[in-house]
Chains A and B, each alone.
Chain A
Amino acid sequence: GDSVTQTEGLVTLTEGLPVMLNCTYQSTYSPFLFWYVQHLNEAPKLLLKSFTDNKRPEHQGFHATLHKSSSSFHLQKSSAQLSDSALYYCALTPNYGSSGNKLIFGIGTLLSVKP
C-alpha cells in the first residue's frame, strides 16, 4: 500500500545551521508529495508540495526536491531560524482513482531550533 516514512522523530539544531528532514515514500503510482508544518496547539498547514514537472517548490526558505528514482522528498533549508521549531509532516496523495483524494501522513519530525 501507500506509505510515508520519516526516520527522525526529533531533530535538534543550532540557529543558523542547515536543515534537512528526511522523507521517503512508497506508492504504486506517481503520487503528489507534500510537507505540512504544525506549530504547537495549531492546525497543520501546507508548507510546500511537489509539482508535476521538475520545478523545485520553495516556501519560507524551505525547499524540497522530488526524486522518483529514490522515492524521496527531503525538506531542506539553508539556515534554521528559531521560529522554524515545529512538527513537520511529510504526506502523499496517491495519484489514482478515488484514492487520489486521501492524504497519507508520515509520523512527523519534531524540529527544535536552539539559540
Chain B
Amino acid sequence: EAGVTQSPRYAVLQEGQAVSFWCDPISGHDTLYWYQQPRDQGPQLLVYFRDEAVIDNSQLPSDRFSAVRPKGTNSTLKIQSAKQGDTATYLCASRAGLGTSAETLYFGSGTRLTVL
C-alpha cells in the first residue's frame, strides 16, 4: 500500500515569493492534515479536511496561507508571500475516517522550506 506522498521534497525561496506544496494521501483516507514543523519544535496543526470540507483552519495564517482539497483526495497548501518565519518542514498526514479519536495518522516525508 502506498503511503502519503508529498512534493516537492525541498524548496528555497526569497521573501515575498509564492510556493505550493502538494499532498497525495493514502487511498481511502478521507481525513487529511497539514502540519508545520519549525526546526527543533513539534508539528503544529495548520488545517485539516474531511473529504473536501475544511474542518478546522483556525491556526492557518489566512492572509498568506491557503489550503484546498477540491475532490476530497489530493490537497495543495499555498503560501502567497513567504516570510523568513515560514521556514519549516510542512508535513501532510492522512487517516481513515472520523469514527474514533484513536485512529492513527500516517505522515508523508514532508517538504522542507527555507525562506531567505
Contacts and interface: CB of A to CB of B under 8 A. Distances in A.
Contacts of B104: 34, 46, 49
- Indicate the size class of the contact surface on chain B: 20 to 34
A64 to B, nearest CB: 14
B91 interface: yes
B56 A104 contact: no
- Indicate the size class of the contact surface on chain A: 20 to 34
A105 B33 contact: no
Contact of B44 (A94, A101, A105): A105
Interface stretch (B11-19, B71-79, B80-88, B107-115): B107-115
Contacts of A43: 4, 91, 107-110
B62 interface: no
A49 B105 CA distance: 11
A46 B105 contact: yes
25 contacts: A31-B101, A43-B107, A43-B108, A43-B109, A44-B43, A44-B91, A44-B107, A46-B104, A49-B102, A50-B102, A89-B43, A93-B102, A94-B101, A95-B101, A98-B56, A98-B98, A101-B31, A101-B48, A102-B45, A102-B48, A103-B45, A105-B42, A105-B43, A105-B44, A106-B42
